[in-house]
A and B are shown apart, each in its own frame.
Chain A
Amino acid sequence: MAAVTTTTPTTLRPVRRRFPFGRAAAWTVMGLILLITLLPFYWILRTALSTNAGLNADPTNPLPVDLTTSGFERALGMQSAEEAVKQGGAGGGLDFWRYLLNSVLVSTLITGCQLFFSAMAAYAFSRLRWRGRDKVFGLFLAGMMVPAIFTLLPNFVLIKQLHLVDTLLGIALPTMFMTPFAVFFLRQFFMNIPQEVEEAALLDGAGKVKIFFRVVLPMASTPIVTLGVLTYITSWNDYFWPLMVSYSDSSRVLTVALAIFRAQTPATGVDWSGLMAATLIAALPMLVLFACFARRIVSSIGFTGIK
């Protein structure tokens, strides 16, 4: 943009005079948007590090009131019930270490398997020749038209019949094998890998299986990583399905645990400090994960929506 303003000074005089105002206004709007985006995160941290008594006494203080880690101790089950109640908690034993572990297991299982199986299918749809390929692929595409939410009830019935209710496997199973989107997304990238690369590998005596592992997967690593991170975030954040399937600590994931924490409101009012600490525990891993891959994801996110 800067380069343009210097090229043809005659026609640009009026534009140049007007522009800074517009630009300043635009930056102000941008600043406001960033503020609304980021402030809630700070507020979570500030609340989590305050005591409930402090929050009641001084609700507008921009800094943590009576700086403490008691909220985190409560969320992680490190406080005795009496101590928790004294601090304004519900005293119901919630162990966010456990839920954190459950979330990690479920998300890792889903992401790992879904990615690998979808990549295999995408390879078969893009690089292998077989009868009925386009028909089967068309069926997968039609599957994208069914809103995920429609299959939840029947899937719950199925998981119940398989006696997998209240297990981590039961939570993971429906999305572990594939999503039509993942197959579709990866197929697009596999199709763009030049024929010549594959042929060269074939001439070297590599089989199709070897080509998949040694050529196709490495060459598509960027979209695979992007899809992987997005899948991880999606399964980490899922609430509706785990809510149906999990009943006890053994399969409870973070989102479900958070809602339960919120529901066990003590008589003195909501335990905001503990709740925000738990919220932070649930959110932080995704922020860290995103920070590691941010550049790659941000620049390739467009492909995830536009076909």
Chain B
Amino acid sequence: MTIASSSPPSRLPVGGAAKARSKPRTRRTDVGENRGDGRLAALFIAPALLGFVVFLLWPTLRGIYLSFTRFNLLTPAEWVGLDNYVRMVHDPIFWSSLKVTVEYVVINIGVQTVAALAIAVLLQRLTQSAMLRGIVLTPYLMSNVVAGLVWLWILDTQLGIGNEIISAVGVDRIPFLADETWAIPTIALINVWRHVGYTALLLFAGLQAIPGDMYEAARVDGASEWRMFWRITMPLLRPVLAVVLIMTVIGSFQVFDTVAVTTAGGPANATNVLQYYIYGSAFGRFQFGYASAMSVALLVVLSAITVLQYRLTRAGRTDLG
């Protein structure tokens, strides 16, 4: 956008006319930037546009449409108006799924943001080693499935090394993933383990943009690291932090994989997160219409959160300069 409006519009098309097209200025001569590479652009944009329309735009509209239908995949969808939404409002499992999901997101994002911030600051203030940054990122290379299975094994009540250590200390073994109160926090922390490094590196990149002489000046004034963190790092990192928060919260709401391989929604719906319930409704009970309605609800929640967070954290505005 910026290039198009700031550069003299005549330059590129004239040069580009040499070979790319046959009729450079016969048709539209009104606005410079509209002249030009139309055909070539159509060719270049075609595959991506096709993918966009067929696999993103159309499914989005169709998902909204399906939420107003009864649809079992085998017979054509049947319009039922708001039935699915009425059912949703009266479905206790939907509400408990939503509650469980929010619980998960709060723990996951809370711990992950603080930990990622700590790691990013440590990486910045302690060492600039690229190797350490690489190590911090390694869990992110695993799939959620792998992360879930590894921790399932480590936290196994009978044989897991985690519980062996706990019982060696003299505390009772904890059935982390089989207990109603422990399961959600455990899954939230497993996903922190996988994602915290990536989040930390995003924040680290934000920290790199803070001029180093600010810290030097503060140090000359005798400020402690703690004070510098609150007075320099936090205010200047805020816009980056806000963007990262919006991204991670949206990602966090979509939790599915870890639940599917560790607890399968149990015990007693304690980890039946919304996405897992939606999957079960669609592929277990073939209620694609109802599943779509819940997906729309999730979409609305996520959009609202994005707007709210954007407003609250004043994302996009920086205190720098």
**CB neighbours of A233 from chain B (8 A):** 140-141
**CB neighbours of A225 from chain B (8 A):** none
The reply to whether the CB of B79 lies closer than 8 angstroms to some CB of chain A is no
B143 close to A145 (CB less than 8 A):
no
The reply to whether the CB of A246 lies closer than 8 angstroms to some CB of chain B is no
Query: Given A12-B219, A143-B57, A150-B295 in contact, is the A209-B40 Cβ separation under 8 Å?
Result: yes
How far, in whole Å, are A201 and B154 apart by their CA atoms in the complex? 58
B48 close to A40 (CB less than 8 A):
no
**CB neighbours of B33 from chain A (8 A):** 129
A202 close to B302 (CB less than 8 A):
no
B:1-35 near A, CB below 8 Å: 1-4, 7, 9, 11-13, 15-16, 18-20, 28, 33-35
The reply to whether the CB of A267 lies closer than 8 angstroms to some CB of chain B is no
Q: Which of A47, A56, A134, A183 contacts B1 (CB 8 A)?
A: A134
B:192-241 near A, CB below 8 Å: 193, 197-198, 201-202, 204-206, 208, 216, 219-222, 224-225, 240
The reply to whether the CB of B320 lies closer than 8 angstroms to some CB of chain A is no
- Kindly report which residue of chain B lies nearest to residue A8, judged by CB atoms: B220
B:130-164 near A, CB below 8 Å: 130, 132-146, 149-154, 156, 158-161, 164
The reply to whether the CB of B51 lies closer than 8 angstroms to some CB of chain A is yes
What is the CB-to-nearest-CB distance from A17 to chain B, in angstroms, rounded to a whole number?
12
Question: Interface residues of A, CB < 8 Å — how many?
Answer: 118
Among B13, B55, B220, B240, the one with the most A-chain Cβ atoms within 10 Å of its Cβ is B55
A-B residue pair count with CB separations less than 8 angstroms? 328
B202 close to A149 (CB less than 8 A):
no
Q: Which of A36, A178, A297 contacts B193 (CB 8 A)?
A: A36
The reply to whether the CB of A51 lies closer than 8 angstroms to some CB of chain B is no
The reply to whether the CB of B261 lies closer than 8 angstroms to some CB of chain A is yes
What is the CB-to-nearest-CB distance from B286 to chain A, in angstroms, rounded to a whole number?
12
- Kindly report which residue of chain A lies nearest to residue B303, judged by CB atoms: A145
What is the CB-to-nearest-CB distance from B206 to chain A, in angstroms, rounded to a whole number?
6
- Kindly report which residue of chain A lies nearest to residue B244, judged by CB atoms: A305
Stretch at the interface among B58-66, B86-94, B96-104, B175-183: B58-66
5 further A-B pairs in the complex, CB-CB below 8 A; given A240-B275, A283-B141: A60-B168, A136-B49, A147-B254, A195-B11, A237-B142
